[in-house]
Amino acid sequence: MDRFLRVFLVLSCLMLAVQGLTVGTLNETVTRSSCGTDRACFSTPADCDPTTNSACLLVSTRSSSSGLDFELRGESSGYIAVALSVDTTAGGNDKTYICANSNGTATFFFALLNNNTLEIQNDTTSISNVSASVNSTTIQCVFAVTGLNASMSRSADNTFAVVLATGTLSSDGTPSTPTVKTVTALLDLSNPSSSNTATVTTAPNVTTDANATTAATTTTTTATTTTVSGANIGLQHSLSQALLILFGVLAISLL
């Protein structure tokens, strides 16, 4: 009995180690300088530059060998967020990546946006290389995501509608109800030529910004996917795998 208890404790420690997420300090500035050439960019207002427009909320994506790299920047005293929808309707259990300003400290959350509720997820093993910064109300973060698949097919499918949102933090420090700023059409996030146009289709009970863009698509997105080589984002996953092997060996030795 004691042997099985020790194995249980080892496996519990393993799960905690794998699910941990470290947020590093971001020492660079997120801009739109490489939009259309190296990265696909989506923003509200459309085509805005966050370095000159304080109302600009910008996210960019770039394909890497392991998935997609994200850069997110905006203004908020609470949080900024990007969610990925498979049907252009915000709130359909959409994966949501949240960069927050917690009393001047940058924090990061992963959640599912279900109707008007952000359901915080503990399993962050698909996310790595998270860095963030807060300067007054300016929030910036970069992170990498693996395993995204809009169609659940065997091959990767990076076609999503991008949902940009902001919100406040609750008294316990967790993100409260988001305000959706814009929702794009379905676009290939791995293609730097993907456009920034919006459709804003949301679930009936999802809060939307009265000033959100409602114009129909004005730019045609090419069907060809351009793969851009990116930095290796496997460090955290490699560490997780090493921990998995280590704890596995320990568990076997205790049997």
At 241, list the tokens. 């795998």
pLDDT of residue 14: 39
- For 40-54, the pLDDT digits (tens) are 999 999 999 999 999
At 234, list the tokens. 């496997």
What is the rounded distance in angstroms from the CA atom of residue 96 to the CA atom of residue 188? 17
CATH assignment of 23-233, among 2.60.40, 2.30.38, 3.40.1440, 1.10.10: 2.60.40
Model pTM?
A: 0.75
Domain ranges of the chain: 23-233
The band of 132, judged by pLDDT with boundaries at 50, 70 and 90, is: very high
- For 173-221, the pLDDT digits (tens) are 999 999 999 999 999 999 999 866 555 555 545 677 766 544 333 332 3
What average pLDDT is seen over the chain? 78
The band of 152, judged by pLDDT with boundaries at 50, 70 and 90, is: low
